[in-house]
Amino acid sequence: MCLWCRIRQKIPKKKKTYYAAHVMTPLLSAPGKKMAAVQDAPMELDAEKETKPEILSDGTSNLSGNTASGTLSSPPLTAGGAPKQEDQQTLIAVLQFLRRNKLTESVEILRREACLEDQEDSQTLDGSGGGKGDGDGGDANSLLSRVSIASAAAPQSTLTPIPVKNDQPDVSVVLSAYSQQGDPSLYQVYYSSLKNFIESVLDCHRAELSQLFYPLFVHMYLELVYNNHENKAKAFFEKFSGDQECYYQDDLRILCGLTKKEHLKGNEALLDFRTSRFVLRISRDSYQLLKRHLQERHNNQIWNIIQEHLYIDIFDGMPRSKSQIDSMSGSFAGETRREVNKAKVFYGLLKEPEIEVPLDDEDDEAENEEGKPKKKKTKKDSMGSKSKKQDPNAPQQNRIPLPELKDSDKLDKIMYMKESTKRIRLGPENLPSICFYSFLNAYQGLTAVDFTDDSSLLAGGFADSTVRVWSATPKKLRKVKSAAELNLIDKESDDVLERIMDEKTASESKNLYGHSGPVYGVSFSPDRNYLLSSSEDGTVRLWSLQTFTCLVGYKGHNYPVWDTHFSPFGYYFVSGGHDRVARLWATDHYQPLRIFAGHLADVTCTRFHPNSNYVVTGSTDRTIRLWDVLNGNCVRFFTGHKGPIHSLAFSPNGKFLASGSTDGRVLLWDIGHGLMIGELKGHTDTIYALKFSRDGEILASGSMDNTVRLWDSMKAFDDMETDDFTAATGHIHLPDNSQELLLGMYHSKSTPVTHLHFTRRNLLLAAGAYNSQ
Amino acid sequence: MTEREERRFAEVPRESIKLMAESTGVELSEEVATLLAEDVCYRLREATQNSSQFMRHAKRRKLSVEDFNRALRWSNTETVCGYGAQDALPFRPLKEGELFFVEDREINLVELALATNIPKGCAETMVRVHVSYLDGKGNLEPQGTVPTAVQSLSEDLLKYYQQITRAILGEDPHLMKVKSVSHDLDQLNRLLHMVKSLVQNPYLYLGSYVRSLVSSVMYCILEPLAASINPLNDHWTLRDYAALLLSHIFWTHGDLVSGLYHQILLSLQKVLSDPVRPLCSHYGAVVGLHALGWKAVERVLYPHLPAYWANLQAVLDDYSVSNAQVKADGHKVYGAILVAVERLLKMKALSLTLAAEGGCAGLPGTATGAVGFRENSLGLSPPPEPLSEPPLGIASHLQAGGAGCPWEEWTPVSLPAMYCELYSFFGDSLAVRFSTDPPLGGAPPSGSRQPLEGRKEPASGAPNLENTRKMPQLTASMNISPRQDGSPCMEPQPPSLAATVPGRSLARSSSSSSVSRSRSSSSRPGRSTSQSRDIFPKARFPLPQVGPPAFSFIIGGRQMGRRCQGRRFQTSFTPTPPLTTLPPRAYAHKLPVIGRVSKPVRRWTCSHYSLHLPL
């Protein structure tokens, strides 16, 4: 085994050392005055322990006992199909690995769990089983998840029988999936005969069957490589790589360099490619055609690959056209299986707590349940009208425990409503004004920007590992006085909140030091008291905007954390990173509450659904997944992007999702139906920022190509086909109407757009670093 | 993956591996080295792939050393690539072999430490906010709407635009549409300067805007401005300058406007052939033609001359008082035509010479463009850097523009024939001017040339061979001439000027004949306008030895008008660079617009708004 692999395997050890720090962090670093997150949600804190059973009782999840300290999700993609025996095989492999790395604690837990309930393990993706439940489970949990990613992700779904060394399985056993099956010199013949066949079939079938080229090509190539036929592999690649769709170029580039069996072992992406089945959707007719051909020709080699490594989702009806196929393909794992997106998603918004300007009677509103009769419906603010009735598509109000509103939150809500009345109604004729926040002298490299919801604060994350906060209003940023000084303050006075601030510290901006690597994501809490930042150093940090100090460092990712985002109700946040999982955290827990695993590559961006019940993640594997916060399930899986996804945005009504990627396209998705509903072409470079206007009328996209573009999202949503047939089959015809939908394009001369934000009155704020070169 | 495929990637050859191994004292077998080399290549690619992720997340386009180090670090490998830098590291090729390396300058620490100019630290990172687009439109200016063409400009260009409009016009007329500007000469003048600085700005790609710029310049050249009714308004200068600018545009952006050339010629021709148009328009057309080069003059003006001459003659022959004004204008046109024609003849003669000489040796350092335009096969390319030459005056620029004509074979009319015909119009004035600069002393086409000179110009035989000196001398004389010109609104001549200018030409000229001529010209200021008027009727007939009366008819009125205008204008920009030694200071007044207008400094005053906006 090469050096690199070995080193990689050692990484989990590091975690051990982190662990000690972990436990202490939140407690120690909480500031004297306030216990950071704890005060936010006192109920949540003590309820936390009870929450678990609660969730279990009403959750429909298939997770049995292991929600307690981190739900390991079980994405449908990879879960099914593996016989039980192999799972045991896998488990043994994992145990072996753990033992070798002297992780005895985990070994014990795993053994206990595995022996007791190996059926459960067969459901969990990570093989090692999430259920380390009680006690110190946190460490084992994060550790195991890591293990599963670094090395053991592979074992579960290997399909080949593992014959001999049952007692001494190795991680490399996985690779035996590519045991020699045919004469390597015939691979080219096989492939080209299939190619000839596909090219000779009727047009309507050709497009569908052409989907086979890429996965077959990759698998055959890898097989050749695995079996040490280096030269044949090269020849094979040379001959057929040109046939692949252009959007697979990136993958081909990786493949091209990979010519040795040893290389295979270290390459996680390809490991995943082999272990997860590439999904193709083919009509029954085309499939029959293919099957007949392969059987006639006795082309077993290809047939075996199709059987073992591909998942062909057969549907009845007309074959799809080339454009239909192209719009959905491009991801690293093929298309979405139809059944994956069938789960019900409660995309509606939660009912707004009803707040009267005199704050008297809203205590029970937050927990108001659906059927509960409202007593005071009469004199509510007109703006809240849409939230009066419970949206049928909304989740139950307490599906996810949310923090109770504080007085300050209510004040803010009132402010929000007041502002809303002054909101400009946007539309194609009434485009928003754009304000550009240029970061000047940002030599160190601006990597992330966020605005508070009320646009009063602005935070920038920089590559020199600093986070800087600016006030976007004339109000300066002030720290709270020191503890000693606070003692001198008359706590009864009316302006105590004013008095606790230290005037001497007033300044336009504050720097936050603490990270040890570039800061890739920043996110303000909705109440503007906290700021999250995620960094290359593998941590997410929570900063207080009262004291401008770091409160908590959330460690768990252990690899660069690319993005983080606060829940719209505060308290929860999500992060995603290079370790290919997204994690759900609560501010007062140092361990993640959920781990969303399933992406085959880095999780590049994460966003909370407006109702806080779902989390969406975009990944380098060119897919988007929507996760249920309640049970950690992946409920939506969107493919269609041709490049890593770098921006996501929910429409304000929660029904739609927009995603932008390096391919310069914005795709629009209907969450309820699980369909792609629009494609917005025009940008020429990576789209780093997406934002819907407050009413959802306009979608703004900002890109590296120094432009902001405004799109008519209303029109895009109205144009979509939502008839039953489309919904049932998922075959969409995308109108090519990007130009009609484009309402405006606005250039900055040399400032890539890093972030976009609509103020409460629908003024568009854009931010980016002026690039003088 | 064959050779072609392989070459997509950086490769570490086996030999390098062996070499490295040897340097650490390890002997590698061939086999091991091969394997190692392959693995190294793969690992390098892998690390590069991984590092690109760091680049993308840092929202950069350029992979940095830092990114690569991070990728290495995260695969638990020692970081080996040194320290990162913000600036791109230029790779330098080594001449021998295909070796590229990053330049690593040695830094003298002692020098650095003892240096007195302590480098400033980086400015603090800050955020500045500005309203980029209001209501989705680029109307930034509070006092009015920005024209549509401006909307598409980027924000920084928009700022630039604002700076320009504020600096130049103080109002908000459309950048490209001169017509929206009033007929205020002052404004037009500034506008022309702006166009000029736009054209000169090497960082600005004008693209299709050149066309609109050209059209606005054409407007300035040809339009019978309301302001030209008042004889006190110096619209002549404006036209001259616009013509100069036109030639400059064609020179610098010839590729962009090549299609316009014939269009412009046509429109100029139309104006010229339209007798209804006022004389000032005609003047503009002539000057414009001149600016477009002698080819243009030959093709358009020359064939037109017989028809036009009748009109002009009628004007000039009218002695009525009411006609005085028009007549003065007529004189100007006459002068312009004369200059243009003279240029034409000279260039033709020159081209003949050069063609005969193999087009090489002639004029090494004379007309600034002599070298440049010959290499340049573009349809019409005035010489390089007409603006960097000492500002000899508009005429010199025109000359430069004219000189930059292509060396084509288009010569429908032979030189002698042309000369004869032109002589029939201009008479001696042409002869005199033409001979002021006979650069072709012993030129081969003497068959045609010598007789001409011998006939018309007694002094032509003078050993006037020094080409290098001749061209400037010509320009000087052209500049002088307006002093004697009898334009009605002529300002009192600065006494120093009369002395200095001929002096200069004297100094510069090595020909005795021209010396005497300049002397005589300066000694004859007493020749009144009436005297010069007489020339016209007589011009039909050879009037050989009357002296150089026509000398005074060269582009007239240049010095009249509001001198201070130009001055004032220049100060509104960055300070005018001191005019170089050649022209006396007085010239600077006369010729306020000699391409010395530096472009407006880009200032960032706008960016100093507070972060606060009413959100």
Confidence of residue A651 (pLDDT cuts 50, 70, 90): very high
Give the pLDDT mean for A115-138: 41
* Residue pLDDT, tens place only, B325-347: 777 777 777 787 777 777 777 77
Q: DSSP state, B298?
A: I
In a domain, A158, yes or no: no
In a domain, A338, yes or no: no
Q: How confident is the model at residue B612 (pLDDT cuts 50, 70, 90)?
A: very low
Measured distance CA(A63)–CA(B500) in Å, rounded: 102
pLDDT over threshold 60, residue A333: yes
Residues 411-470 of B with CB under 8 A from A: none
For the ranges A307-321, B250-264, B556-570, the maximum mean pLDDT occurs at A307-321
Asked if A266 reaches chain B (Cβ–Cβ under 8 Å), the answer is yes
Per-residue model confidence as pLDDT tens digits over B144-158 = 334 444 444 455 666
Query: What is the token pair recorded at B426?
Result: 């201009």
- Would you state the pLDDT for residue B234? 67
Distance of CA B612 to the CA centre of its chain: 44
Task: Outline where A730-765 has alpha helix (H).
Answer: 738-741
pLDDT the model gives residue A365: 44
Q: Answer yes or no: is B91 within a domain.
A: yes
- Give the whole-angstrom CA distance, residue B405 versus residue B400: 9
**Of the candidates A636, A627, A671, the residue with the CA atom closest to the CA atom of residue A72:** A627
Contact between A535 and A543 under an 8 Å Cβ cutoff? The reply is no
Distance separating alpha carbons of residues A312 and A293, to the nearest angstrom: 16
Tell the residue number behind the tokens 């009680």, with chain if given.
A134
CA–CA gap between residue B467 and residue B440 (Å, rounded)? 8
CA gap A144, A132 in Å, rounded:
10
- Is A749 in the B-facing interface, judged by CB distances under 8 Å? yes
pLDDT of residue B414: 66
Q: Are residues A752 and A616 in the same domain?
A: yes
Q: How many CB atoms lie within 10 A of CB A89?
A: 20
Question: Is 50 exceeded by the pLDDT of residue A134?
Answer: no
Segment 27-86 of chain B within 8 Å of chain A by CB = 38-39, 41-43, 45-46, 49, 53-54, 56-61, 66, 70, 74-77, 86
Instruction: Read off the pLDDT of residues A269-288 as tens digits, 9 standing for 90 and up.
Output: 777 777 778 888 888 888 88
- In Å, what is the CA distance from A424 to each residue of A429, A513, B395? 12, 38, 60
Q: Which residue has the higher pLDDT, A387 or A471?
A: A471
Instruction: Give bridge partners of residue A140 from the DSSP assignment.
Output: none
**Averaged confidence pLDDT in chain A:** 75
Q: Find the range with the poorest average confidence among A637-646, B179-188, B496-505.
A: B496-505
Contact assessment for residue B613 and residue A456, using Cβ atoms and an 8 Å cutoff? no
Q: Is B39 inside any structural domain?
A: yes
Is residue A344's pLDDT more than 60? Answer: yes
Beta bridge partners of B101: B92
Contacts of A257 in chain B (CB under 8 A): 9, 41-42, 45-46
Alpha carbon separation from A287 to A189, A317, A324, A673 (Å, rounded):
21, 12, 17, 26
**Is A266's CB within 8 Å of B612's CB?**
no
Residue B55 resides in a domain: yes
Provide mean pLDDT across the span A389-407. 83
A301 lies in the same domain as A439? no
Q: Rounded to whole angstroms, how far apart are CA atoms A304 and A178?
A: 11
pTM over 0.90: no
Share of chain B above pLDDT 70, in %: 37
Q: Residue A746 and residue A757: Cα distance in Å, rounded?
A: 15
What length is written for chain B? 615
pLDDT at residue number A550: 94
- On whether any CB of chain B is under 8 Å from the CB of A2, the answer is yes
Secondary structure element (H or E) that encloses residue B254, with its range: helix B254-257
pLDDT class for A190, splitting at 50, 70, 90?
confident
Residue at token pair 């997204």: A582
For the cut 80, the answer to whether the pLDDT of residue B95 exceeds it is no
Residue B165 has pLDDT above 60, yes or no: no
pLDDT at A631 over 60: yes
What's the pLDDT at A489?
82
So what's the ipTM on this one? 0.74
* A128 within a domain of the structure (yes/no): no
- Residues 151..190 of A with a Cβ closer than 8 Å to B: which? none
- Which CATH number belongs to the domain containing residue B44 in this structure? 1.10.20.10
Determine contact, residues A449/A461, Cβ cutoff 8 Å: yes
- The CA distance from A576 to A560, in Å, is 9
Domain of residue A639: give its range. 435-477+507-714+742-769
* Under 8 Å between Cβ of B406 and B423: no
For residue B397, the tally of other CB atoms under 10 A from its CB is 29
According to the model, what pLDDT value does residue B86 have? 63
Which tens digit of pLDDT belongs to each residue from A231-240? 888 888 888 8
Question: Which of the residue ranges A593-607, B222-236, B472-486 has the most confident prediction, judged by mean pLDDT?
Answer: A593-607
Element spanning A450, H or E: strand A446-451
CATH number at residue A688: 2.130.10.10
Kindly state the average pLDDT of the residues A321-335. 82
CB nearest A260 (choices: B2, B42, B70): B42
For A493-514, how does the pLDDT look when each residue is reduced to its tens digit (9 = 90+)?
878 888 888 888 889 889 999 9
| Mean predicted confidence (pLDDT) in A582-586 | 94
Q: What pLDDT is recorded for position B404? A: 38
Residue ranges of A 628-657 with Cβ closer than 8 A to chain B: 644, 646
Per-residue pLDDT at B257:
62
Q: What pLDDT was estimated at residue A66?
A: 36
pLDDT confidence tier of residue B186, bands split at 50, 70 and 90: low
Hey, what's the torsion of the CAs at A592, A598, A600, A602, to 10 degrees? Answer: -30
Q: Are A461 and A522 in contact (CB under 8 A)?
A: yes
**What is the structure's pLDDT at B448?**
39
Residue B74 located in a structural domain: yes
What confidence score (pLDDT) does residue B355 get?
62
pLDDT of residue A430: 85
Per-residue pLDDT averaged across A117-123, rounded?
43
Domain assignment present for A74: no
pLDDT, residue A516, reads 92
CB of A706 within 8 A of CB of A748?
yes
DSSP state of A720: S
Whether residue B87 lies inside any domain: the answer is: yes
- Domain edge (last residue) among A292, A320, A348: A320
Among B295, B231, B243, CA closest to B271: B243
Q: Give me the mean pLDDT over the B302-322 stretch.
A: 72
pLDDT at B30: 85
Interface check B375 vs A, CB under 8 A: no
CB A66 within 8 A of CB A121: no
Cβ <8 Å between B86 and A706: no
Whether B94 is covered by a domain: the verdict is yes
Would an 8 Å CB–CB cutoff place B127 in contact with chain A?
Answer: yes
Task: Report how many domains make up chain B.
Answer: 1
> Following DSSP, what letter does each residue of A661-726 receive, concatenated?
ETTSEEEEEETTTTEEEEEEE---S-EEEEEE-TTSSEEEEEETTSEEEEEEHHHHHHHS---HHH
CB B608 within 8 A of CB B129: no
> Across residues B23-36, what is the average pLDDT?
85
Q: What is the mean pLDDT of chain B?
A: 58
Q: Which of residues 523-582 of A touch B (CB under 8 A)?
A: 536, 559-560, 562, 578
Model confidence at A362, in pLDDT bands (50, 70, 90)?
A: very low
Domain stop point among A297, A320, A343 = A320
Q: For B132, which of A430, A435, A646 is closest by C-beta distance?
A: A435
Phi first, then psi: what are they for A369, rounded to 5°?
-100, 170
Q: Which residue in B294, B272, B282 sits closest to B236, CA to CA?
A: B282
Whether A393 maps to a domain, the answer reads no
* Residue A668, C-beta contacts closer than 8 angstroms, at least 6 positions apart: A656, A657, A658, A676, A677, A678, A679, A680, A699, A713, A716, A717
- C-alpha closest to that of B198 among B209, B187, B188: B209
Residue at B85: amino acid letter = A
Determine the Cα–Cα distance for residues A485 and A467; give it in Å rounded to an integer.
27
User: Listing from the earlier edge strand, what are the strands of the sheet with A434-440?
Assistant: A755-758, A764-769, A434-440, B126-133
Among candidates B211, B223, B212, B226, which has minimal Cα distance to B284?
Answer: B223
Q: Of the candidates A436, A472, A710, which has its C-beta nearest B136's C-beta?
A: A710
Instruction: Locate A37 and state its tokens.
Output: 């997150």
Quick one: tokens of B579?
């005019």
Chosen for mutation from A9, A256, A619 (greatest number of chain B CBs closer than 10 Å) is: A256
**Residue finishing a domain among A270, A288, A320:** A320
Q: Over range B431-452, report the average pLDDT.
A: 44
Instruction: Check which CATH number belongs to the domain holding A260 and give it.
Output: 1.25.40.500
In terms of pLDDT, which residue wins out, B395 or B205? B205
- Say if A281 falls within a structural domain: yes
Mean pLDDT of B209-227: 69
Residue B28: give the domain boundaries: 14-104
Give the type of residue at B226.
A
Q: How far is A246 from chain B (nearest CA, A)?
A: 16
| DSSP 8-state symbol, A564 | E
**d(Cα A605, Cα A596) in Å, to the nearest integer?**
13
pLDDT at site B143: 31
B9–chain A Cβ distance below 8 A for any pair: yes
**pLDDT value at A347 more than 50:** yes
Q: Does residue A21 belong to any structural domain of this protein?
A: no
Q: Note whether A671 and A654 are within 8 A (CB).
A: yes
pLDDT band at residue A56, thresholds of 50, 70 and 90?
very low
Q: For chain A, how many structural domains are there in total?
A: 2
Tokens of A177: 């999936």
Top mean pLDDT of A109-123, A254-268, B162-176 is at A254-268
Residue type, B329: D
Q: How confident is the model at residue A613 (pLDDT cuts 50, 70, 90)?
A: very high
Cα B176 from chain centroid (whole Å):
19
The answer to the question of residue A270 being in a domain is yes
Considering only residues B110 and B417, tell me which one the structure prediction assigns the higher pLDDT: B110
Confidence of residue A646 (pLDDT cuts 50, 70, 90): very high
**pLDDT at residue B208, as a whole number:** 60
Better pLDDT: A463 or A10 = A463
pLDDT value at A348 more than 70: yes
Beta bridge partners of A606: A617
Whether A309 and A441 map to the same domain: the answer is no
pLDDT: which is higher, A434 or A63: A434
Q: CA-CA distance, B288 to B265, in Å (whole number)? A: 9
pLDDT of residue B84: 67
